[in-house]
Structure 1
Amino acid sequence: MTSSVQSRPHSPGRVGPMIAVAAAAAFLATFNETFLNVAFTPIMSDFGVDVNTVQWLTTAYLLVAAVFVPVANVLYHRIPTRALFVSVVAVMVAGSVVGALAPDFGVLLVGRLMQAIGTGLLTPIGMNITLAVSPREKLGMNMGIMAAMTTLGPSLAIVLSGVLLTVAPWTTLMWVFGALCFIVLIAGVIVLRTVPELGRPRLDVLSFLLVALALVGILYGVTAAFGGSARVAGGSGIVGLIALWLFIVRQRRITNPLLNLRPFSSTPFVLGVVMTMLGLMFVFAMNVVIPLFLQSARGMDPLGASITLAPGILLTVVLGPVAGRLFDRHGGKWSIPLGFLVMAVFVTLVGVAAGGTSILLFGILYIPAVLATAFIIGPAQTFALSHLDRETSPHGVTVVSTSFQIAGCVGTSLGAGIYGALSAGRLSAGAGEIDALLTGFHGSVALVVLTSVIGIILAIAAYRSVRKDHAHRNAATASAGVDDEFGSKAESGADGTVSSIMKTDVFALSTDQTVLEALQTFTGRGISGAPVLDSDGSLAGFLSDGDVMRYLSAAHPSSTSIYSFAIGAEDDLEQALSDLSSLSIMRLATREVFTIDAGASIAEAVAALSDAHLKKVPVIDASDGRVVGIVSRSAINRLAIGSYLHARADTSNMQSA
């Protein structure tokens, strides 16, 4: 599927409520993934089913949700946002009613799968709305809010369901969830407006069937690996991988693919998605294993086990936007690996405390571990999506949303599977029940520590890959012969390198300046943008007048129009400029700056500017990373025209001779 992704402008007064509705939708979608887990025991009793049957209320839910995520991108660009949102949430309401009135387990499962369809569609729709309407300088914070809601959902669901089950039957959970969905539905009717420019993208049915078979096969294989036949699990996984390969092949061949694979060409995007999944795996694994361990080994009731998780969960909601704001200002170069490190250290301490008798110490040590996810999940997905262009971003959102469901299924299956397998192994070896359960818990802790170490490595690699990713794309384009003809002509430009045509009198900004001071520099020097340097002279970012205008159009829309003076809106312009006088350059500057080496060829400069759709690029000295100049399209145009006129003059002279 291909489409033009142009978001419509929205007034600042409407942006906040729209993001709030999107965040509420993300909360509901993930909340329902674990809301019914604590009720498995009474459901088994009411319908006379065993644990292997009842677990499909979660496993099948996650599988169906994952299958429908790719469909959301098609619907998002085809159906008006409000109508789509209301329809999806209405399906979840209907599923809740069916489940609450179910006469047998089969009907309950049908209602659960109706809810899953809504979850699969709702998460990417909410993320797309947030990406489209968020001002650039607040994107990290808003995505942090979305991440906090997706983290809060499955965790808080366990606590609330435990509370409700102490005073009411399990069917109350279905009614409560249906009521929450109805409230969000009404909010969507009032607040939402159409966000993207709509088209008529087509749903490729064969692609949908292939991705469904791939996800079901792979995820069922992981789920069945610990609780079923190894042969069935292996066969399911193989079928899923074959279907995935066929899906990828088809996406590359058809005109309107269900999922555009362009995001996977960005190494930072891929690494960001994997880091997000590692953080989510921790959340889902611990949300299952900790209540199981506390109830089985420590004799706690479901409510007590749930309350043990509550403080860290609630604090994570507060810290999510804070972590997003820090990402806006400083990036995630240090916060993401630090988050994984804190998670590894404190989960290890939780494993040590599990062998003691103090539940209070156990709960306190778990708080920093779960708080660390605020510095991982939101920033990692923002990092991933920020490295995609506007046209590719919706496809990136589809990938990220699908990864949520995959991480949930894999995290739940691996966490519970390792816990159960190691516990059973110790029991069969003659160990006591508590010792066996403790061994199983330690195995799950080891899984989290391993994923954390992998996350630290990936976080470091991700930030190193940013510049390499640009360099590799440019080199590939140049080596493929892009603009080779111009490359040969460019030899007339001195030595044929960027250093021969770059502008060396670079006007640079410093990180401690304000945006208003930067605009004064732009006006005084007659330039439209400049690199931002740290105190040591290293490149910290790049600020353009376009960055400033995008901020003003979001925060002070009337100040960006010349007609504001005709309607008496001078006060808004004064307020806008007053805001800029206290706004740090780094709040608006692009941090991951596209650069080119001074020794690169002019052909590579042409490829770089064309590939990244830029007007000018800072030139650096490869030996020390210092900014030594600026190369622009206009400089290359002057060289090209000069080469042509020079060659034409030579030809005329030869003919006249």
Structure 2
Amino acid sequence: MIAVAAAAAFLATFNETFLNVAFTPIMQDFNVDVNTVQWLTTGYLLVAAVFVPVSNILYHRFPTRPLFVAVVALMLLGSIVGALAPSFGVLLFARLFQAIGTGLLTPIGMNITLAVSPREKLGLNMGIMAAMTTLGPSLAIVLSGVLLTIAPWTTLLWVFGGLSLLVLLAGGFALQTVAALRRPVLDIISFLLVAIGLVGILYGVSAAFGGDTLYAGISVVIGIAALWIFAIRQQRIEHPLLNLSPFSNKSFVLGVLMTMLGLLFVFAMNVVIPLFLQSGHQMDPLGASLTLAPGILLTVIMGPIAGRLFDRHGGRWSIPLGFLIMAVFVTFVGIAAGYSSILLFGVLYIPAVLATALVIGPSQTFALSQLDRETSSHGVTIVSTGFQIAGCVGTSLGAGIYGAVSAGNTDFDSLLSGFHSAVALVVITSLIGIFLAFLAYRSAKTTPVKSTGNNSLESIMKTDVYTLSSDDSVLDALKTFTERSISGAPILHSDGSLAGFLSDGDVMRYLSATYPSSASIYSYAIGGNDDLDKAMSELAELNVMRLATHDVLTIDVESSIADAIAALSDAHIKKVPVLRGKNGPVVGIVNRSAINRLAIGNYLKATA
């Protein structure tokens, strides 16, 4: 199912830039200018962004498999209509029809991944998804350049139609319903408001560099006003189009912003580098595309590696490091652009684009890991909308700054100045990303639940708390669980502050993923010891923080029993550590068993 979701993410983003290299023959065939033909990409991104919020309604209303097949069928039908289009208007309509599929498909694929991924492999699987979403628009430029050397531009649409058919069949065979189905209602007014808001802002950004400054400004103002009204309406209606509660989580918002900055880098460079190499170095489209190919292909490998690093160490150091590498090496690319060696140019770009794998996937995972199960699907919708916005803004800003600084001149110095300006844009955004990364991990520290009631927890909480040290191995933790007859324990730093929480379920999920024959460790009691010796040896070397939950939900000792019930229910967990004060020591544990005993005891007393 994750493989199908990743293929869907690739397909949706692949189509966003697949026709870019074909703009010149399309202009010739339909006798349109560059300002008209660029709407095949800009319009596509706008429509995709508008339909992303609708995906959450459909995801929870219809079974996963038929919904997935229907959405991919939209993209397949759009490919056929576009390939047979007799006019530019029909071609544009077909592209916008496909864009509906992209807007729906990307968040549906991410929701499937979130639903079926075990926590200890979430970073890896989201890394795969991020690799596919960044590979799609980048590889599309390379593949389209190759195809256009041997076939007409309509071949691109037939090829995409074939890819869509393959993904449709794979989804039809592999997918199962993974969402909790209910009957959410689509609020048409909210849909229109978000459409006006996103189109207004994104059109304004696109038009700002086209000379229509006044219209661009008016468009942005209208867009912001529409989104403001949209936000107010979501809080007042019974069936909001989008649950805005994730925006109250500062760490989630920072994670989304980091993801968007990484994507802005990718989209800006994907449009500016081919433009500069073709116009400044007189390369053909295929040569310009192939210059990007090595870094793009290596990113596919780097995405899962970055996800695995996030699973084991978090993104505290890898995300800012990724932004730093992006800034440094794209600066080197800007310097190399003034020389004749295209090989040096391409080699220096490889580390820059590889570093985006350390940013985009881990930032998505970080953002979504800050949300509970109830709001995670709404978080996916926000992240996916951010993807489309980042793509449109990155493309518009990159091409707009490049064109504005070069001022339409074709001499090399003017084009080089335009390229340097675009490079400066992505360097600045990367430096901002470093700052946001440090800010995000400061804000993601333990957040206790505050009291809203009067009944004290001390009457039901377990005060003889068994804890683990952050220096312990996982095998040490299992020994503690066995000796103390517990299923999980808080992990403390050397200063006594809370570092994380490890449960036997965390360990079992790791073992089942790494050593399939040890999926049920307790089968050892009846002789089922395949792989067990090797697994235990590894657990003796594995630090508890590698498998632990780092961002632990806690509750203050002054909270009420009702607060504890809400915390356990909302987060779908069995037990929650109790702290004395915001960053105070762990003074107890409240679990569902204690609350169940209290409830049953009160009932028996009342009916005695």
TM-score scaled to structure 1, two decimals? 0.84
- Asked whether the equivalents of residues 247 and 253 of structure 2 are also in contact (C-alpha less than 8 Å), the reply is yes
Aligned pairs (5 A) from 1:91-110: 91-110=74-93
Counterpart for residue 291 of structure 1: 274
Question: Pick from 478, 481, 493: which aligns with 1:522?
Answer: 481
What residue in structure 1 maps to residue 204 of structure 2?
221
Q: Does structure 1 residue 582 correspond to structure 2 residue 538?
A: yes
In 1: Cα distance, 2:389 partner to 2:499 partner: 36
The answer to whether residue 47 in structure 2 is matched with residue 69 in structure 1 is no
Question: For 1:103 and 1:594, how far apart are their aligned partners in 2?
Answer: 59
Alignment partner, residue 398 of structure 1 = 381
Give the aligned partner of residue 458 of structure 1.
Answer: 436
**Which residue of structure 2 aligns with residue 503 of structure 1?**
463
Cα 1:634–1:374 shift into 2, 3 Å: closer
Deviation at 1:42, TM superposition (A): 0.3
Q: For 2:526 and 2:66, locate their aligned partners in 1 and report how far apart those are by CA, in whole Å.
A: 38
Given the alignment of the two structures, is residue 541 of structure 1 paired with residue 500 of structure 2, yes or no? yes
Deviates more, 1:73-82 or 1:415-424: 73-82
For the residues of structure 2 that align with 1:94 and 1:100, how far apart are their CA atoms?
A: 10
Distance of 1:375 and 1:421 partners within structure 2 = 31
Q: 1:531 touches 1:618 (CA, 8 Å); kept in 2?
A: no
1:165-564 equivalent positions in 2, closer than 5 A:
165-424=148-407, 427=409, 433-467=411-445, 470-471=447-448, 474=449, 477-478=450-451, 482-483=452-453, 485-486=454-455, 503=463, 506-514=466-474, 516-533=475-492, 539-548=498-507
CA shift, 1:542, in A, is: 1.0
Shift of 1:466: 1.1
Return the alpha-carbon distance in structure 2 between the equivalents of residues 165 and 27 of structure 1: 21
Q: Distance in 2 between matches of 1:465 and 1:69?
A: 28
Displacement of 1:198: 1.7
Please give the per-residue CA displacement for 1:251-285, whole angstroms capped at 9, x wherever unaligned. Answer: 10111111011111111110000000000000000
| 1:312 and 1:366 in contact (8 A); partners too | yes
AA aligned opposite 1:386: S
Per-residue CA deviation, residues 437-475 of structure 1 (Å, 9 max, x unaligned), is 11111111111011011100100000000127x25xx4x
1:143 matched to which residue of 2? 126
* Structure 2 stretches lacking a partner, 5+ long: 603-608
Q: Is the 8 A contact 2:334 2:423 kept in 1?
A: yes
Q: Is the 8 A contact 1:541 1:592 kept in 2?
A: yes
Q: Which amino acid letter does the alignment assign opposite residue 367 of structure 1?
A: I
Residue pair 2:557, 2:578 contacting (<8 A) in 1 also: no
CA positional deviation for 1:557:
9.6
Which of 38, 43, 46 is the aligned partner of 2:29? 46
Conserved? CA contact 2:491–2:498, under 8 Å? yes
Q: CA deviation at 1:523?
A: 2.2
**Counterpart residue number, 2:137:** 154
Structure 1 residues 419 and 526, CA, compared in 2 at 3 Å: closer, same or farther?
A: same
Deviations 1:278-311 (A, max 9, x none): 0000000000000000111111111111011011
- Residue 130 of structure 2 contacts residue 360 of structure 2 at CA under 8 Å; is this kept in 1? yes
Give the aligned residue type for 1:131: L
Aligned to 1:602, the other structure's residue is in SS state coil
1:80 equivalenced with 2:43 (yes/no): no
**Displacement after TM superposition at 1:533 (Å):** 4.3
Q: Tell me, what secondary structure is at the counterpart of 2:151?
A: coil
- Look up the match of 1:603: 559
In 2, Cα distance between equivalents of 1:168 and 1:634: 65
Deviations 1:103-156 (A, max 9, x none): 110000011111111111110010011110111111100000000000100000
Identity %: 68
CA distance in 2, matches of 1:571, 1:25: 43
Which residue identity does 2:30 align to in structure 1? F
Contact conserved, 2:554 with 2:576, CA < 8 A, in 1? no
Deviations 1:518-551 (A, max 9, x none): 2331121132321234678764421123434555
Q: Could you say which residue in structure 1 is the equivalent of 2:605?
A: none
CA distance in 2, matches of 1:218, 1:197: 34
Give unpaired runs (5+ residues) of structure 1. Answer: 1-17, 645-657
- Listed one character per residue, the Cα deviations across residues 75-102 of structure 1 (whole Å, up to 9, x for unaligned) are 1111111111111111111100111001
CA distance in 1 between counterparts of 2:593 and 2:47 reads 54
In structure 2, relative to structure 1, the CA distance for the partners of 1:519 and 1:305 (3 Å cut) is same
CA drift at 1:338: 0.6
Partners of 2:568 and 2:592 within 8 A in 1: no
Instruction: Specify the code of the residue in structure 1 equivalent to 2:432.
Output: I
Distance 1:119 1:65 in 2: 6
Letter in structure 2 aligned against 1:94: L
Aligned counterparts of 1:136 and 1:572: Cα–Cα separation in 2:
26
Distance 1:85 1:570, change over 3 A: farther
> How many pairs are equivalent?
592
**For 2:362, what is the secondary structure of its paired residue?**
helix
In structure 1, C-alpha distance between the alignment counterparts of 2:592 and 2:77, rounded to whole Å: 60
- Which whole-Å CA distance do the structure 2 matches of 1:127 and 1:634 have between them? 31
User: In structure 2, how many angstroms separate the alpha carbons of the residues matched to 1:330 and 1:306?
Assistant: 35
1:57 and 1:506, CA in 2 relative to 1: closer, same or farther beyond 3 A?
same
**Structure 1 residues 131 and 20, CA gap change in structure 2 (3 angstroms):** same
Q: Per the alignment, do residues 302 and 634 of structure 1 end up closer, same or farther by CA in structure 2, a change over 3 Å counting?
A: closer
1:632 shift after superposition: 3.1
Larger Rg belongs to:
1
After superposition, the CA RMSD in angstroms is 3.1
Contact 1:621 1:628 in 2 (8 A): no
- Quote the Cα distance in structure 2 between the aligned partners of 1:590 and 1:109: 48
Match of 1:121 among 84, 100, 104: 104
Which of 535, 542, 550 is the equivalent residue of 1:591? Answer: 550
**Cα distance between partner residues in 2 of 1:522 and 1:569:** 17
Instruction: Decide whether the 8 Å contact of 2:469 with 2:494 is kept in 1.
Output: no
Equivalence map 1:635-654=2 (5 Å): none
**CA separation in 1, counterparts of 2:136 and 2:525?**
43
Aligned equivalents of 1:634, 1:37: Cα separation in 2: 56
Match of 1:203, SS state, is coil
Of 603-612 and 138-147, the range deviating more from structure 2: 603-612
Q: 1:621 to 1:266 in 2, by over 3 A?
A: closer
* Structure-1 residue corresponding to 2:590: 632
> Matches of 2:268 and 2:13 in 1, distance apart?
14
Letter aligned with residue 503 of structure 1 = T
Aligned-partner Cα distance in 2 for 1:236–1:572: 67
1:24 and 1:96 map into 2 onto residues whose CA distance is 17
SS of equivalent to 2:552 = coil
> Matched residue of 1:185: which SS?
helix
* SS of equivalent residue, structure 2 residue 550: coil
1:250–1:337 distance in 2 versus 1, CA, 3 Å = same
Deviation at 1:580, TM superposition (A): 5.7
SS of alignment partner, residue 227 of structure 1 = coil
